[in-house]
Copies of this chain bind each other. A is one copy, B any other.
Amino acid sequence: MGQFNTTDILAMEQRYRAAFINSLGGFKSGVLVGTVSKEGNTNLAIFNSLFHLGANPALCGLIIRPDSVARHTYENILETGSYTINHINEGIYKQAHQTSARYDREVSEFDATGLTLQYEQGVMAPFVKKSHVQFALEFAEKHELQINGTILVIGKIVKVILPDECIGADGFIDIERAGTITVSGLDSYHTTQRLSRLSYAKPGIAITEVS
């Protein structure tokens, strides 16, 4: 087994450390974030930092590094309050990855990558047409994280679009069936294979597989 302590991590070459530390968090949600500036320039960017924050109110968090290629997304969210989250599937993952290139602000990553825009009533920001699970967020709150200058952006889910046949009787969404893929590290994309769903856990009671 390899063991690494704080000194070892600090001694790593910068890109090596970025790849190493980014891998440690486990499998992540890779999503495309669609936005538009107040001048009407659309933007599309891949993020690996989306996370569930609460169901009532329905909230998601996103970590943004304001000095990175993600700064256009951040500026657009603050300008319009609107952004969309689009799950990535096998058919679009290479185009999704390409959105991480450092395009100028006036270039739309939709055009540059060939991903088609989709507009929905009541949502200013554009969706990605080929994404199978899509939702829109309304900006709610931000926190600057002093420790490294990143921003936690919190949004409220205001619209959800997804295939009816992926919604279970109990509200569970079968994102595997919808073709959603997962990301590890900075650049590795993976399909999934369900082991099982497990029953609600209680002390002293054996859990069972839920069909």
Interface residues of A, Cβ cutoff 8 Å to B: 1-6, 9, 12-31, 48-61, 63, 85, 87, 90, 93-94, 97-103, 107, 112, 122, 133, 135, 140-141, 143, 145-148, 150, 152, 154, 156-164, 167-168, 170-173, 175-176, 180-182, 184-203, 205, 207, 210
Contacts and interface: CB of A to CB of B under 8 A. Distances in A.
A147 to B, nearest CB: 5
A158 B157 CA distance: 36
Given A53-B148, A191-B195, A193-B193, 12 more contacts: A1-B161, A1-B162, A20-B171, A26-B29, A26-B182, A51-B51, A97-B198, A141-B146, A141-B147, A189-B194, A190-B193, A191-B192
The 5 closest A-B pairs by CB, nearest first: A26-B29, A23-B173, A16-B171, A19-B171, A27-B182
A63 B53 contact: yes
5 contacts: A2-B161, A5-B122, A6-B158, A48-B52, A53-B63
A154 B145 contact: yes
A163 to B, nearest CB: 6
A108 to B, nearest CB: 12
A197 B61 CA distance: 26
A24 B48 CA distance: 14
A189 to B, nearest CB: 5
Nearest to A85: B24
Contacts of A29: 25-28
